[in-house]
Structure 1
Amino acid sequence: MFVSYKWLQDYVDLSGIPAEELAEKITRSGIEVEGVEVLNEGMSGVVVGHVLEKEQHPNADKLNKCLVDTGGENPVQIICGAANVDKGQKVAVATVGAVLPGNFKIKKAKLRGEESNGMICSLQELGFESKTVAKEYAEGIFVFPNNAEPGKDALAELGRDDQILELGLTPNRSDCLSMLGVAHEVAAILGRSVTYPDLTHDEGSEKASESISVAVEAKEENPLYVAKVVRNVKVAPSPLWLQTRLMAAGIRPHNNVVDITNYVLIEYGQPLHAFDYDRLGSKEILVRMAKDGEEIVTLDGQKRTLTPEHLVITNGTEPVALAGVMGGENSEVHSDTTTVLLESAYFNGQTVRKSSKDHGLRSEASARFEKGVDPNRVRAAAERAAQLMAELAGGEVLSGSAEVNYLEAEPAVVTVHIEKINRVLGMNISGNEMQSIFTRLGFEVQEDNGAFTVTVPTRRGDITIEEDLIEEVARLYGYDNIPSTFPVSASAPGKLTDYQQKRRMARRFLEGAGLHQAITYSLTSEDKASQFALQPSDLTRLSMPMSEERSVLRLSLIPHLLETLKYNLARQNDQAALYEMSSVFISNGPGEQPLEKERLSGAVTGLWHLNQWQAEKKQVDFYVVKGILDGLFDRLGLKEHITYQQTKRDGLHPGRTAEILLNGVSAGFIGQVHPKLQKQMDLTETYVFELALQELLQTEAEPLTFSVIPRFPSMTRDIALVVDKDVVAGDLQSAISEAGGKLLKDVSIFDLYEGDKLDENKKSLAFSLRYFDPERTLTDEEVTKAHEKVLRTVEEKFAAVLRG
C-alpha cells in the first residue's frame, strides 16, 4: 500500500511528525514501512511555463522553436522535440541550472544552430512511472490546466512535493488498504482523532429506484448491492490534484468519472464500478452466477468464457461485469456518457478470488475483496463517489439508491481480562492504559471487575479472539517497552543437552575430515523413497503433492545425496564428499503422524588425496570411508561397541558392503554403490554410508581413561595364516585378540595373498601381534606361551595353518 503523506493529512493531524519519524512509529507498532520515497528528491528548478509562440525549427523537421514565459522578466527560447507542444499551453519547464532525476543538469545549449534555454518536460522526465501517466501524455510533454500560473513551482503543482510511505501489509491487515484505514492506525499511534470526509451533497427530486431496479440471485456471494444514479455528468479530465494523488498511489488517471471511483477505492478501501447507464441495455441489474459457457468482453478487450463458479453483474440477460474483478466493455463509460450508474457492493472474497485466478485478472478491486472490505463502508463509499461526481463532473445525483441487502454485519464483541493481558505479555500495564489504547483504536470498551468487553468495529475484521486484543495492547503500548527478564527457574546457565553436544561433535568431526554438509528435500518420489532404507516401512504419502517427484516422505538420505553428487560431476566437479544429518519418516499407519528418525548419511566420490608436485594420488575406496567412520566412533567413545560384518544390500556392491553393528545390533551400513546404479546415474566409483544417529548418540559412551606412557619395551610377532577363502578376516582377528589375553595389546592385518602357491580355495592372511606389559619387561618364554595359545586357537576354530 502506497500512502501519500500529504493526502494522509486530510484525515489526521500530522503536525510536528515528519514522514521519516512517522514511518518509524508505524513500523514499531507492527506494520512494516518498507521505505519512504521523497518524490522530488534531488530535483530543482522546474517551473510552470506558458508557451507564447511556437514555430518550426529552421534546420530540423522534428524540432520546434518555442518562446516560453517562465515567470521571469523576459520569455526564453526553448527548442522542443515533442509532437504535442503548441502555442498557448501551460507546460513544465526545467530552467537552466535545473536538476532532474538521475542528477541530470540542464544547461544552455545550441540545437541545430538555435539557442535553447531549458527543457519542456514530460512527466516521465520528472520521475513519474510510465504506467501511471495518463495515455494522452504517455508520449510527449505534459500540459497543465489553463489556470496554472507561469513561474510557479511545477513540482508542487504536480504533487511531487510529497513523500510516499510504502506499507508492507500482512494479509490480516486489509483495513490498512485504504487511506482512512491507515489514518485510524496513525491516529491510534499518535493519540489523535480521525476526520472523515463530509458526504453531504444535493440530490434531485427523482428517486434512483425509479431509474434502476436491483435483484440478487446469489445471496451468499453478494449479500449487499447498492446502486446510485448520477445524471448530466460531463466526462472530462480530472482536476490535477486528483490525478496526482492517483499517480502517487500507482494508478493511471483516465477521466473524472473513472478517476473518482479509483479515488474512493483508495480513500475508503471499497471498490466501486461506474456503468454507462444508457449503454446498459435495460433498467435492471441482476446479480447471479454465470451460465456455463457464457461469455463477456472485459474492459481490457479480452473475451472471457465463464463457468457457474463465476459471479456476474447482468442487465437482466447478458453480463455487464465480472463481479469484483473487472467491468464489461459493453457498458464502459465513454467521453459521451451523460448518465452514470454507480455500483458499490459487498462480494464474497473467495468467489472474487476464484474469478480473478481463473481469468488471470488481478486488480486493485479484487485484491481488496479477497482480503476483506468493511461492510459498513459500502454505502458511505457510494455517497462519497456521488458527491465527487456532482462536484467534479457537474452531475445531478438522484435521490437515494436502489439496493438489495441480505448482509448481517455485526461488530465483534470480545472480552479479555486485565490479568490475562499482563500475564501473557509479561508486563504490568495499568487498566487505564489498556482502556486508552482501545479507545485510541476506535473500539468501544467497557470495564467490569478487571474485564474489558470490547466492541470491535467491522473495519477490523482481523480481531475476533482475546489474543487479538492482547496483540493490539502490546503493539500500541510498544514492543520496546516489554521488559527483559531472566527465566524464573534459571538457577544455572543454559547449555546443550548431551545429545546436542554429541551431534555437534559429529558435525565438526566430519567437516574436519573433509566432508561438506548438504541439506536436501524431505520429499521424494515413490521409486526413490525406499532405496537404501535402513528400516523398511510403508511410504508416507502427501494428500496434495505439488508433483510426483515430491509426493512421499523419504526413508533414506542417500538417494538425494547421490543426486547431488551427480549434479556436481556433471559440472566438472569430480571430487565430492558430502554428509547430511536429518530426519527420515517411518510410517505409523494410514492417517497417523509418521515417526521421525534422525539419520547420518554420507556419499564420497573421486580422488581423496591429490598432490600434483609429488605425483601422489589416492582414490576414494571402502577403507577411506570406513576410516572416517572409525574416527567418528572413536570421537564419540563408541569404538569398543562397534563391529563390521560383511553383508549384501540392494543398490550396493555385493563384495564391498558391510553392516555396522552397535553392541551386536544393526545401526547402519557402509558400501560402494552398485556399478549398475553408478552407470545409470553417471557416477564415478562412489561410497556411501547411513547410520541410525539417534541410537548411536543415545548409547552410553566409554568413559575417558588415561594410561601411563610405557617405560618397558614391547615385543612384536608376525604370523601368516593359511585359511579357507570363506573365512572372514575380522572373525580371525577377533579370535586372535581374545586368545592373546592381557599381554596382547594390538592386532593388525597387513597382508592378503591368493596365488598359485596356494590351493585354489585357500588364502593367506598376515597379522602383526604386539605383546606388552606396562609393569615390566616381558621374557621370550612369556610371549611364546601366549603366542602358542593364539596359534592353537586359530587352528581349532578356523583350521588355520601357519604358513612357512
Structure 2
Amino acid sequence: MLVSYNWLNEYVDLNGVSADELAERITRSGIEVEGVDVLNEGIKGVVIGHVLEREQHPNADKLNKCLVDVGEEAPVQIICGAPNVDKGQKVAVAKVGAVLPGNFKIKRAKLRGEESNGMICSLQELGIESKLVAKEFSEGIFVFPHDVEVGTDALAYLSRNDYVLELGLTPNRSDCLSMLGVAYEVGAILGNEVKWPKSSYDVSEEQASNYISVKVEAEEDNPLYVAKIVQNVKIGPSPLWMQTRLMAAGIRPHNNVVDITNYILLEYGQPLHAFDYDRLGSKEILVRRATEKEKIVTLDDAERTLSSEHLVITNGTEPIALAGVMGGLNSEVQSDTTTVLIESAYFKGTTVRRASKDHGLRSEASARFEKGIDPNRTHEAAERAAALMAEFAGGEVLEGSVEVNTISYEPKVVTTTLSKINSVLGTSVTASEVKAIFENLKFEVVEDNETFTVTVPTRRGDITIEEDLVEEVARLYGYDNIPTTLPISAATPGVLSTYQAKRRKVRSFLEGAGLLQTITYSLTSKERAKQFAIEDGKEIVLAMPMSEERSTLRLSLVPHLLEVVQHNIARQTHANSIYEIGSVFVGKEGEELPEEKERLSGVLTGLWHSHQWQGEKKAVDFYVAKGILDGMFEMLGLTERVTYRRAELDRLHPGRTAEILLNDDVVGYVGQLHPETLKELDLPETYVFELALQTILNIETEEIKYEPIPRFPSISRDIALVIDRSTPAGDLEKVIRTAGGSLLKEVRIFDLYEGDKIAEDKKSVAYSLRYYHPDHTLTDEEVTKVHEKVLTALEEQFGATLRS
C-alpha cells in the first residue's frame, strides 16, 4: 500500500511529525514501512509556463519553436520536440539552471541553429513512471488546466512536494488497504481523531428504482449489492489533484468517472465499478454464477472463457463484468457516456480469488476483496462516489439506491483482563493505559473491575480472540517498552547435545577447508537409489511419486551431489568442492518403515588451489580428499582409531579407492570415480567420499589432554624397507608404531620406489621415525634398543629387509 503523506494529513492531524519519523513509528507499531519515497527528490527550477507562440522549427521537421512566458520580465524561446505542444497551453518548464531527476542540469543550448532557453517537460521527465501517465500525455508534454498561475512551482501543482510511504502489509491487516484505514492506525499511534470525508449532493426528483432493478441468485457469493444512478455526466479529465494522488498510489488516471471509482477504492478500501447505463442493454442487473464455457470480453479487450465457479454481473442475459475482478468491454464508460450506474458490492473473497487466479487478473479491486473489505463502508463508498461525480462530472444523482442486502455482520465482542495482558507481555501496564489504547484504536470498550469488554469495529476483521486484543495492546504500548525477561520455568538455558555440537564442528571444519554445503532431494530414481551406498538395504518406493526421477528414497547422498557438479560444470564452474550432511533411508526386510541414518558425503573436482602470480596449480587428487577426512578425524579425536584399506567398490576406480575403518568396522569410503562412470556422467576426474556420520559422531572420545612442548631434543632415524608389492604401507606403519612404544612419537612415509635394482614383485618404502622422551635427552643406546625392536617386528611379520 502506497500512502501519500499530504493526503493522509487530510484525515488525521500528523502534528508536524516528519514522514521519516512517522514511518519509524508505524513500523514500531507492527506495520513495516518498507521505504519513504521523496517525490521531488533531486528536482528544482521547474515552473508553470504559458506557451505564447508556437511555430515549426525552420531546420527540423519534428521540432517546434516556442515562445514561453515563465513569469519573468520577458518570455523565453524554447525548442520542444513534443508532438502535442501548442499555443495557449500551460506547461511545466525547466528553466536554465534547473535540475531534473538523474542530476540532469538544464543549460542554454542551440538546437539546429535555434537558441533554446530551457525545456518543456513531460511527466516522465519529472520522475513519474510512464505506466502512470494518462494516455493523452504518454507521448508528449503534460498540459495543465488553464487556471494555474504562470511562474509558480509546477511541482506543487503536480503534488510532487510530497512523500509516499510504502507499507508492507501482512494478509491479516487488510484494513490498512485504504487511506481511512491507515488514518485510523496513525490516529491510534499519535492519539488523534480521524476526520471522515463528507458526501453531500443535490438529489434529482427521479427515483433510481425506475431505471434499474437488482437480483442476486448467488447470495452466498454476493450478499450485498448496491446500485446508484448518475445522469447527465460529462466525461473529461478528473481534477489535477485527484490525478496526482492516483499516480502517487500507483494508479494511472483515465477520466473523471473512472478516476473517482479508483479514488474511492484508495480512500475507503471499497472497490467500485462504473457501468455505462446506456450500454447495459437492459434495465436489470442479475448477479449469478457463470455457465460452463460462457464468454466475456473484459476491459483489457481479452475474451475469457468462464466456468461455474466464477461470479458474473449480467444484464439479465449476458455477462457485463467478472465480479470483483474486471468489468466487461460491452459496458465500458467512454467519452460519450452520459448516464453512469455505480456498483458498490460485497463479494466473497474466495470466489473472487478463484476467478482472479484462473484468468491471471490481479487487480487492486480483487486484492481487497480477497483479503476482506468492511461491509459497513459499502453504502458510504457509493454515496461518496455519487457526490464526487456530481461535483466533478456535472452529474445529477437519482434519488435512492437499488440494492440486495442479505448480509449478516455484527461487530465482534471480545473480552480480556488486565492480568492476562500483563502476564502474557511481562509488563505492568495499568487499566487506564489499556483502556486508552483501545479508545485510540476507536474500539468501543467497557471496563469492569479490570476486565475489558471490547466491541471490535467491522473494519478490523483480524481481531476475533482474546490474544488479538493482547497483541493490540503490545504494539500500541510499544514493543520496545516490553521488558526483556526469561520465562519463569527456564531454570537452565538450552544447549546443543553432544551429537549436535560435533555435527556443527564437522560443518565448520569442512567449510573452513573450502567445501561448500549443499542440500539435495531425499528422493531419487529407482536406478540410482543404491548407487554409492555404504550399506545395502531394501528400496523404499513411494506409492504415488511425482515422477520416476523422484520415486525412491535414497540410500546415498553421492548421486545427487554428482548432479550438482554436473549442473555447475555445464555453467562453466569447473572447480567444485561440495559436501552434504543428510539422511538416507535403509529399508529392512519384513519392516514397512525404513531406518533413517545420517550420512556425510562430498564431491571434489577441478583445481584444488591456483595461484596465478606464482604460476602454481594443484588439481584435486586422492590425497586431497583423504587429507580433508584426516583433518576432520583429527579434529574429532579419532585419528588413532581410523584406518584406510584398499577396496574395489562399484562405480569407483579400483586402484584409487579406500574403505574407511573405525575400530576395524567399515564406516565409509573415499575414492575416484571409475573412468566409465566419468564418461557416463560427462565429468572430469572426480573424487567422492561418504561416511556413516551417525556412527562416527556417536563414538565416545577421550577428553583432549594438554601435552607440553618437548624440552629435550629428539632423535630421528630413517629406514628404507624392501617388501612385497602387495603389502599396504599402512600395515607397516601400524607395526612400527606398536613396536616403537612410548618413545616413538612420529612416523612419516617419505619415499616409494619401484624399478631398477628392486625385484619386480618388490617395492621400497622409506619412513622417517622420530623418538624423544619428555623427561630427559635420549641416548643412542636407548634409541637403538627400541629401533631394533621395530626392525625385528617388521622382519618377522612382513619379511621386510633394509634396503642397502
Native 8 Å contact 1:771 1:783 kept in 2: no
1:24 aligns with 2:2: no
| Counterparts of residues 140-151 of structure 1 (less than 5 Å) | 140-151=140-151
Count of matched residue positions in the alignment of Structure 1 and Structure 2: 790
- Please give the secondary structure, in 1, of the residue aligned with 2:603: strand
Match for 2:518: what amino acid?
I
Match for 2:325: what amino acid?
V
Instruction: Indicate how the Cα distance of structure 1 residues 719 and 158 shifts in structure 2: closer, same or farther if over 3 A, else same.
Output: closer
Match for 1:26: what amino acid?
I
1:376 aligns with 2:381: no
- Please give the secondary structure, in 1, of the residue aligned with 2:399: coil
Instruction: Indicate how the Cα distance of structure 1 residues 56 and 803 shifts in structure 2: closer, same or farther if over 3 A, else same.
Output: closer
Match of 2:428 in 1: 428
Native 8 Å contact 1:208 1:400 kept in 2: yes
Match of 2:293 in 1: 293
Match for 1:349: what amino acid?
G
- Please give the secondary structure, in 2, of the residue aligned with 1:15: coil
Deviation string 1:386-422 (CA, Å, 9 cap, x unpaired) is 1211222222222322222332223333333333333
Instruction: Indicate how the Cα distance of structure 1 residues 145 and 526 shifts in structure 2: closer, same or farther if over 3 A, else same.
Output: same
| Counterparts of residues 213-252 of structure 1 (less than 5 Å) | 213-252=213-252
Deviation at 1:57, TM superposition (A): 4.8
* Larger deviation, residues 480-489 vs 404-413: 480-489
Name structure 2 gaps, 5 residues minimum: none
Native 8 Å contact 1:657 1:671 kept in 2: yes
Deviation at 1:540, TM superposition (A): 8.3
Deviation at 1:252, TM superposition (A): 1.7
Deviation string 1:593-619 (CA, Å, 9 cap, x unpaired) is 998754332222345577999999866
TM-score with structure 1 setting the length: 0.86
Native 8 Å contact 1:522 1:584 kept in 2: no
Deviation string 1:205-254 (CA, Å, 9 cap, x unpaired) is 44323322222222332222222222222222212222222222222222
Instruction: Indicate how the Cα distance of structure 1 residues 782 and 32 shifts in structure 2: closer, same or farther if over 3 A, else same.
Output: closer
Match for 2:137: what amino acid?
Y
Instruction: Indicate how the Cα distance of structure 1 residues 548 and 362 shifts in structure 2: closer, same or farther if over 3 A, else same.
Output: farther
Native 8 Å contact 2:344 2:378 kept in 1: yes
| Structure-2 separation of matches of 1:607 and 1:373 | 61
Deviation at 1:13, TM superposition (A): 1.0
| Counterparts of residues 443-454 of structure 1 (less than 5 Å) | 443-454=443-454
| Structure-1 separation of matches of 2:417 and 2:652 | 64
Instruction: Indicate how the Cα distance of structure 1 residues 119 and 353 shifts in structure 2: closer, same or farther if over 3 A, else same.
Output: same
| Structure-2 separation of matches of 1:465 and 1:756 | 92
Native 8 Å contact 2:719 2:802 kept in 1: no
Match of 2:633 in 1: 633
Name structure 1 gaps, 5 residues minimum: none
Native 8 Å contact 1:740 1:787 kept in 2: no
Deviation at 1:304, TM superposition (A): 1.4
| Structure-1 separation of matches of 2:104 and 2:609 | 59
Instruction: Indicate how the Cα distance of structure 1 residues 217 and 567 shifts in structure 2: closer, same or farther if over 3 A, else same.
Output: same
Deviation at 1:673, TM superposition (A): 1.6
* Larger deviation, residues 738-747 vs 216-225: 738-747
| Structure-1 separation of matches of 2:736 and 2:286 | 96
Match of 2:464 in 1: 464
Deviation string 1:250-286 (CA, Å, 9 cap, x unpaired) is 2222211111101101101111111111111111112
Instruction: Indicate how the Cα distance of structure 1 residues 24 and 541 shifts in structure 2: closer, same or farther if over 3 A, else same.
Output: farther
Deviation at 1:23, TM superposition (A): 1.8
- Please give the secondary structure, in 2, of the residue aligned with 1:398: strand
| Counterparts of residues 245-394 of structure 1 (less than 5 Å) | 245-394=245-394
* Larger deviation, residues 320-329 vs 167-176: 167-176
Match for 2:122: what amino acid?
S
Match for 2:469: what amino acid?
L
Deviation string 1:529-553 (CA, Å, 9 cap, x unpaired) is 55434454655869896x8767877
Match for 1:696: what amino acid?
I
- Please give the secondary structure, in 2, of the residue aligned with 1:254: coil
TM-score with structure 2 setting the length: 0.86
Instruction: Indicate how the Cα distance of structure 1 residues 479 and 214 shifts in structure 2: closer, same or farther if over 3 A, else same.
Output: same
| Structure-1 separation of matches of 2:614 and 2:99 | 66
Match of 1:584 in 2: 583
| Structure-2 separation of matches of 1:24 and 1:734 | 69
Deviation at 1:179, TM superposition (A): 0.6
- Please give the secondary structure, in 2, of the residue aligned with 1:204: strand
Native 8 Å contact 1:313 1:320 kept in 2: yes
Deviation at 1:356, TM superposition (A): 2.0
| Structure-1 separation of matches of 2:306 and 2:754 | 81
Deviation at 1:98, TM superposition (A): 3.9
| Structure-2 separation of matches of 1:456 and 1:232 | 41
Instruction: Indicate how the Cα distance of structure 1 residues 751 and 151 shifts in structure 2: closer, same or farther if over 3 A, else same.
Output: closer
| Structure-2 separation of matches of 1:771 and 1:125 | 80
Deviation string 1:582-602 (CA, Å, 9 cap, x unpaired) is 32254899xx99987543322
Deviation at 1:191, TM superposition (A): 0.5
Instruction: Indicate how the Cα distance of structure 1 residues 550 and 125 shifts in structure 2: closer, same or farther if over 3 A, else same.
Output: farther
Deviation at 1:150, TM superposition (A): 3.1
* Larger deviation, residues 521-530 vs 448-457: 521-530
Native 8 Å contact 1:291 1:307 kept in 2: yes
| Structure-2 separation of matches of 1:703 and 1:115 | 88
Match for 1:409: what amino acid?
Y
Deviation at 1:503, TM superposition (A): 4.0
Match of 2:520 in 1: 521
| Structure-2 separation of matches of 1:670 and 1:264 | 69
Native 8 Å contact 2:586 2:597 kept in 1: no
Native 8 Å contact 1:752 1:763 kept in 2: no
| Structure-1 separation of matches of 2:73 and 2:748 | 105
Instruction: Indicate how the Cα distance of structure 1 residues 84 and 606 shifts in structure 2: closer, same or farther if over 3 A, else same.
Output: closer
Deviation at 1:325, TM superposition (A): 1.2
Deviation at 1:330, TM superposition (A): 0.5
Match for 1:676: what amino acid?
E
Match of 1:139 in 2: 139
| Structure-2 separation of matches of 1:231 and 1:464 | 43
RMSD over aligned Cα, in angstroms? 4.0
Match for 1:387: what amino acid?
A
Deviation at 1:319, TM superposition (A): 0.9
Native 8 Å contact 1:82 1:141 kept in 2: yes
Instruction: Indicate how the Cα distance of structure 1 residues 713 and 390 shifts in structure 2: closer, same or farther if over 3 A, else same.
Output: closer
- Please give the secondary structure, in 1, of the residue aligned with 2:204: coil
